[in-house]
């Protein structure tokens, strides 16, 4: 029986070509990618350059739009648009600097403000000394209180010194005290606010239906006497608060006596238009009595958010006050 002879298979000497082809393909793809990355996009480069310039060096030199391709003849002779110049950015920078400079207080202005405040303090201190000198006996008897509050001076006179109960007619001691006070006030350029205050005891008379009218009429009586003693009426105003601004407890007789008062507020010449005590707080009722010292009647106007009634001038004023 014959044996079967095995034939050896031929070795494939070209098997290397397959991985070599794969390698060449990968290398080609790699260089294509590298070439694509290395190509500079001029438009993107300019945008990035302008952004970096604006971030580190200030405003960009140009914000002109990026042109793609060669410009046509029409485009080359077209007038420049507002976006092709840096004038707008320069104007904006100049405007910002100007506003910033205007908002700052120069050292000279700060010095002037400090000098004005110092002069106001000195003036009010001098006025306080004069008022305390002419009203010394009443201050010693606790009938008058002189206090300094910011850029104004408060002279508080208890109503029992000035008026009888339920009346707005000034008493003889009241006229004497106000005469002495007028010798100081008529020489000053300062504005004056005369405030009338009452306790919470109700009043219902034909002349004064409520404490609004009573407080306003008392303030008006003081103003008319001051005008008669030479104080410029253009610098004065009367305010009637009724019982709405107590400084003591109305539950006690001493507290009610303290709340019945007339207060003269002397403003510094460089001070605010009105102190907080003469300004009506939101949510509180008050009556503002605008007084013309040359007329014979007092007109009361309601403050914002409050109702007020007319405060007539009392009929029984002294002859030298009329």
pLDDT at 131 (0 to 100) = 92
The residue among 78 and 129 whose pLDDT is bigger is: 129
pLDDT at 38: 73
Long-range contacts from 204-207, C-beta under 8 angstroms, 24+ separation: 205/166, 207/312, 207/314, 207/315
pLDDT, position 90: 63
The answer to which of 38-42, 55-59, 70-74 has the lowest mean pLDDT is 70-74
**90-94, 124-128, 188-192: segment of lowest average pLDDT:** 90-94
* Of residues 132 and 85, more confidently modeled: 132
Give the three-state DSSP class for 265.
strand
Mean pLDDT (the chain, rounded): 73
Q: Report whether 191 contacts 201 (CB < 8 A).
A: no
Contact 308, 300 (CB under 8 A): yes
Mean pLDDT (whole number) for 174-198: 92
Cα 37 to Cα 34, 69, 74: the distances in Å are: 5, 21, 34
User: 137-147 pLDDT, tens per residue?
Assistant: 889 988 899 99
**Could you report the per-residue pLDDT of 250-295, keeping only the tens digit for each?**
999 999 989 999 999 999 874 444 444 433 333 333 333 333 333 3
pTM, 2 dp: 0.51
Q: How far apart are CA 228 and CA 322, in angstroms?
A: 8
Phi, psi of 170 (to 5 degrees): -70, 140
What pLDDT does residue 275 have? 45
User: How is the chain split into domains, by residue range?
Assistant: 122-302
Half-sphere exposure of residue 53: CA atoms within 13 angstroms, side-chain side:
11
Least Cα distance to 266 among 256, 277, 257 occurs for 277
Is 304:317 a contact under the CB 8 Å cutoff?
A: no
Which residues, 6+ apart, have CB-to-CB distance to 206 below 8 Å? Answer: none
The C-alpha atoms of residue 134 and residue 174 are separated, in whole angstroms, by 13
Fold of 122-302: 60s Ribosomal Protein L30; Chain: A; (3.30.1330)
- Under 8 Å between Cβ of 249 and 226: no
Residue 297: is its pLDDT beyond 80?
Answer: no
Query: Given this model, what pLDDT does residue 48 score?
Result: 73
- Per the listing, tokens 């007619």 go with 169
């Amino acid at each position: 029986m014959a044996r079967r002879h095995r034939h050896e298979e031929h070795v494939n000497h070209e098997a290397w070509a397959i991985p070599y082809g794969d390698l060449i393909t990968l290398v080609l793809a790699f260089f294509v990618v590298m070439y694509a990355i290395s190509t500079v996009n001029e438009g993107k480069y300019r945008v990035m350059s302008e952004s970096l310039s604006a971030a580190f060096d200030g405003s960009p030199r140009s914000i002109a739009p990026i042109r793609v391709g060669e410009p046509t003849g029409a485009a080359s002779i077209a007038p420049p648009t507002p976006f092709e110049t840096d004038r707008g950015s320069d104007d904006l920078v100049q405007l910002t600097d100007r506003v910033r400079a205007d908002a700052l207080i120069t050292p000279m202005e700060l010095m002037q403000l400090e000098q004005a405040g110092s002069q106001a303090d000195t003036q009010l201190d001098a006025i306080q000394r004069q008022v305390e000198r002419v009203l010394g006996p009443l201050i010693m008897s606790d009938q008058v209180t002189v206090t300094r509050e910011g850029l104004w001076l408060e002279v508080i006179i208890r109503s029992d010194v000035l008026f009888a109960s339920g009346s707005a007619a000034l008493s003889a001691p009241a006229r004497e005290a106000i005469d002495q006070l007028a010798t100081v006030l008529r020489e000053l350029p300062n504005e004056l606010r005369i405030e009338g205050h009452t306790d919470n005891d109700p009043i219902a008379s034909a002349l004064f239906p409520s404490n609004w009218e009573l407080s306003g009429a008392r303030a008006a009586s003081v103003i008319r006497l001051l005008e008669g003693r030479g104080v410029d009426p253009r610098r004065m105003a009367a305010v009637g608060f009724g019982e709405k601004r107590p400084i003591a407890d109305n539950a006690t007789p001493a507290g009610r006596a303290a709340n019945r008062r007339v207060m003269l507020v002397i403003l510094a010449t460089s001070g605010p238009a009105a102190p907080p005590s003469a300004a009506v707080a939101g949510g509180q009722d008050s009556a503002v009595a605008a007084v013309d010292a040359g007329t014979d009647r007092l007109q009361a106007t309601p403050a914002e958010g409050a109702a007020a009634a007319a405060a007539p001038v009392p009929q029984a004023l002294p002859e030298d006050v009329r």
